[in-house]
Amino acid sequence: MVRAVGSAPLTVAWLAILVATTRRQQAAGRRGSKRIQREHSTNLQKLSTEPSRVLVTSAFYLDGRSWWPYVPVFAGVVAPAERRLGSLRWLLVGALAHVGATYVGQGHLLARIRRGSAPRRLVNARDVGVSYVVLGLAGALSGYVPRAWRTRTQLVVGGALAVNAAARPTATEVGHLSAFAIGLAVSPWVPDRDARPYPDLASLSPREQT
């Protein structure tokens, strides 16, 4: 456990903050939770008045229901990405994906509102969460998939997100595709990608007894 924490300290710290903010929302009740989420949302209204604050704080809030379903995602994607990229690169990739996908998704929403295909009330929609960071890290982490499967894996995941965005062209779904694409764009330059494969099947196989 200590080794796991030490090898991915930012992942552990991020998850701990999410636990705390989720409990805060639960304690605030349903109305209070919605108010908190809206206060930290990266919606069009907040991005036009206080973008720096909400771009940071939105990544530390979930939808207020529970935090434990995110543990497998953090263990299977976020922590392995930090171990391979290093904490600084991990932070930069995650931030780039979060900010870039937010503006692409909200820009798409603004265009839909101007065309009359989305209601204007969505300028103040609740929009918090970790998905853009996670998908950006997943895109970068795909660079560590063994060569034989790398391109196919990237095409399958990217294709699924593209189909989803086409079927449901919301700001969130367009943002998901954008976040993965940003991570994918940096994947050819990730360090030691052939030396540290993902998933690391060798570490999961039984060790020989000596």
Mean pLDDT of the chain: 94
The answer to whether position 180 is within a domain reads: yes
The answer to whether position 207 is within a domain reads: no
Q: Give the pLDDT score at 1.
A: 45
Model pLDDT for residues 165-206, shown as the tens digit of each residue: 999 999 999 999 999 999 999 999 999 999 999 998 665 445
The answer to whether position 201 is within a domain reads: no
Q: Give the pLDDT score at 208.
A: 44
- Amino acid identity of 24? R
The answer to whether position 75 is within a domain reads: yes
Rounded to an integer, what distance in angstroms lies between the CA atom of residue 82 and that of residue 104?
25
The answer to whether position 64 is within a domain reads: yes
Categorize the per-residue pLDDT at 209 as very low, low, confident or very high, splitting at 50, 70 and 90.
very low
How many folded domains does the chain comprise?
A: 1
The answer to whether position 87 is within a domain reads: yes
The answer to whether position 119 is within a domain reads: yes
Rounded to an integer, what distance in angstroms lies between the CA atom of residue 210 and that of residue 208?
6
Range of the domain at 153: 2-189
The answer to whether position 202 is within a domain reads: no
Categorize the per-residue pLDDT at 3 as very low, low, confident or very high, splitting at 50, 70 and 90.
low
Instruction: With beta carbons less than 8 A apart as the criterion, state whether 146 and 80 touch.
Output: no
Categorize the per-residue pLDDT at 71 as very low, low, confident or very high, splitting at 50, 70 and 90.
very high
Instruction: With beta carbons less than 8 A apart as the criterion, state whether 176 and 132 touch.
Output: yes
Q: Using alpha carbons only, how large is the chain's radius of gyration in Å? A: 18
